[in-house]
Amino acid sequence: MKLNKLILGHILNPLSDKKCEFFYGALYLEEGSEKEFKIKKIYNFSSLGIQDLKEEINKINCEVCDFSEYILMPPFFDMHFHWVQDHVRAKPKDSLLEWLTKYTFPAENKFKNRSYAKKEARQFFRKLLAGGTLGGAIYSSIHAHALEYAFKEARGHFVIGDVVMTMNSPAFLSQKIPQARAQIKKFAEKFKERYCFTPRFALATDPETMKFGSKQAKKNQSFIQSHLSENHDEIRSTLSLYREFRGFGHVENYTEIYGKCGVLGAKTLMGHAIHLSESELKLLAKTKTALVHCPTSNAPHREQGLESGLFNFKRVEKFKIPWALGSDIGAGPHLSMFDVMRSFYYQNLRAGKAVSFVKALYHASLAGAEILGVEKKLGNFSKNKEANFLVIKNPYRNLKNKNPEQILKKLIDKYKTQRAQYPLHVKNVFYRGKKVF
Ligand SMILES: [Zn+2]
């Protein structure tokens, strides 16, 4: 016999970058094949008195989980982070180069040890889940087994890739070109649309391997991700290096380099993309490439970021380029997407740009699902989507007559000055109808 469940609570449901629902109601879940639950109906009970509500629930007649004191919201999508950099989140970030060479590369090198990688994967993905993130795009280290462990431990919908580093990298993290290509081919064929070909960035991956990997990705319906235009030094070095390569002598900008290597496309995600010219934006739009904005990583040093600048979302939207938010762990200091939403909102507010928390939530949830092409089953609450939801502690005494913007502001402001505390908002995490945290 199939089991159905009624999940009562205050439903916060992002619909677009301007619209979000908030009402007292219930998610009606139906068990499907393999004992996994889907949302079959969403009830709005906001106009019912207590007696009518009881009658209504009796009529529905199924197991009831009462989270009436809580908020139910869809899990987050974190669209850019390095799971192997969890231990460098709090290291000094005054200089990108120093942070990379002194802390980040040695930290990633530790993953060459199998048992270390296995233990770290278990701990990291448990922590990610507890913070409410159940989807996104992940960078692993160069090591094949680290990628396998990440796929094994990640709960939710993630695309993951082993970073490819075939040039300009420390000796201990450098790959030989034939081995790097064999690994890309093997993983693209094995993990298909869950694999993400991941040249670390143009500076660290040779153009021929970028071409090879992009072909493999396209052949296997895999995704592609990399970094683009994070800071001015990186842009200058990339251009001067590539202009020496055959066929790249006349490249005008950074984006064009990726374009020439076949990296751009509808299944490609470019992280940061802060300093872009108009012709670069045109090329990104033409190729349907998506961008990932990592505000906590790009934030000023005093906010534990790399001070790379502020992503111009208005300009990106003018070109109709899809974009989503990412934590960029470990350049970003905190895993919680509440912290990423906070940073996006307040940095833009300070810069005099009109933003809302509703917009932040959309880019931390549904927008990610859309970019990964899974918006029909994930990203928010609607009929036939997977029954994935977060049970969030109520920040108000009374939730009546509150709007989504107020609710989100209250949640985000609560830990504004104690950013490591954001995961405390999450009481439980449900995945396909079952409590996993
Ligand atoms: Zn990154």
**Do residues 299 and 425 share a domain?**
no
Q: What is the CATH number of the domain that holds 61?
A: 2.30.40.10
Tokens of 361: 């939530």
Neighbours of ion ligand 1 (CB under 5 A): 328
Final residue of a structural domain among 343, 371, 399: 371
8 Å CB contact between 209 and 162: no
| Same-domain check for residues 124 and 147 | yes
- Residue 119 Cα, ligand 1 centroid: separation in angstroms? 22
Model confidence band, residue 401 (pLDDT cutoffs 50, 70, 90): confident
Say what angle helices 404-414 and 337-350 make with each other, to 10 degrees. Answer: 100
Query: What whole-number percentage of the chain has pLDDT above 70?
Result: 100
Ligand 1 geometric centre to CA of 211 (Å) = 21
CATH at 292: 3.20.20.140
263 and 202 within one domain: yes
DSSP state letter for 217: H
Residue-wise pLDDT tens digits, 74-107: 999 999 999 999 999 989 888 887 888 999 999 9
For residue 153, give Cα distances in angstroms to 74, 83, 123, 134, 193: 21, 11, 9, 12, 18
Ligand 1 center to residue 359 CA distance, Å? 22
Q: What is the rounded distance in angstroms from the CA atom of residue 145 to the CA atom of residue 417?
A: 38
| Distance in Å, CA 383 to ligand 1 centroid | 34
**Residue 422 one-letter amino acid:** Y
Q: Which of 267, 250, 270 is nearest to 258 (CA)?
A: 270
325 with 414, same domain?
A: no
Q: What is the rounded distance in angstroms from the CA atom of residue 76 to the CA atom of residue 361?
A: 8
| Helix, strand, coil percentages in the chain from 3-state DSSP, rounded to 5 | 40, 25, 35
Quick one: pLDDT at residue 213? 98
Q: What CA–CA distances, in Å, run from 319 to 279, 316, 354?
A: 11, 5, 18
Distance 397 CA to ligand 1 centre (A): 39
Q: Separation of 41 CA from ligand 1 center, angstroms?
A: 38
Q: Classify residue 19 by burial, with Cβ atoms within 10 Å: 0-12, 13-18, 19+.
A: exposed
- Tell me how many domains the chain contains: 2
Say yes or no: 237 and 338 in one domain: yes
284-300 pLDDT, tens digit per residue, is: 999 999 999 999 999 99
Rounded distance from Cα 426 to ligand 1 centre (Å): 25
Same domain for 99 and 159, yes or no, is yes
Residues 309, 387 within the same domain = no
Question: How do 196-199 and 223-228 pair as beta strands?
Answer: parallel
Complete edge-to-edge strand list for the sheet that includes strand 76-82: 76-82, 133-140, 157-164, 196-199, 223-228, 268-272, 290-293, 323-325
| Rounded CA separation 65/67 (Å) | 6
Radius of gyration of the chain, Cα coordinates, nearest whole angstrom: 22
Distance separating alpha carbons of residues 273 and 264, to the nearest angstrom: 13
What would the pLDDT profile of 38-62 be if each residue is shown by its tens digit?
999 999 999 999 999 999 999 998 9
- Reduced to 3 states (helix: H, G, I; strand: E, B; else coil), residue 55 is helix
Please report, rounded to a whole number, the percentage of residues in the chain having pLDDT higher than 90. 94
Give 392's strand partners: 71, 426
Q: Are residues 125 and 49 in the same domain?
A: no
Centre of ligand 1 from the C-alpha of residue 177, in Å: 22
Asked if residue 212 and residue 101 are part of one domain, the reply reads yes
The residue range of the domain holding 60 is 4-74+380-435
Assess whether 334 and 426 both reside in one domain: no
Q: Do 332 and 197 share a domain, yes or no?
A: yes
- The pLDDT value given to residue 98: 84
Report the alpha-carbon distance of residue 81 to residue 327 in Å, rounded: 6
Residue 145 tokens read as: 């087994």
End residue of a domain, out of 319, 341, 371: 371
Q: Could you tell me if 287 and 265 are in contact, meaning their C-beta atoms sit under 8 angstroms apart? A: yes
Q: What would the pLDDT profile of 234-276 be if each residue is shown by its tens digit?
A: 999 999 999 999 999 999 999 999 999 999 999 999 999 999 9
Ligand 1 centroid to 226 CA: how many Å?
8
143 shares its domain with 82:
yes
3-state secondary structure of 434: strand
- pLDDT (mean) for 127-155: 98
Convert the pLDDT of each residue in 156-196 to its tens digit.
999 999 999 999 999 999 999 999 999 999 999 999 999 99
Distance 294 CA to ligand 1 centre (A): 8
pLDDT for the residue numbered 1 = 63
- Last residue of a domain, which of 351, 371, 391? 371
Q: For residue 138, report the distance from its CA to the centre of ligand 1, in Å.
A: 9
Distances (CA, A) of 422 to 79, 341, 419: 18, 11, 6
Average pLDDT, the chain: 96
Per-residue tokens: 406: 């107020």
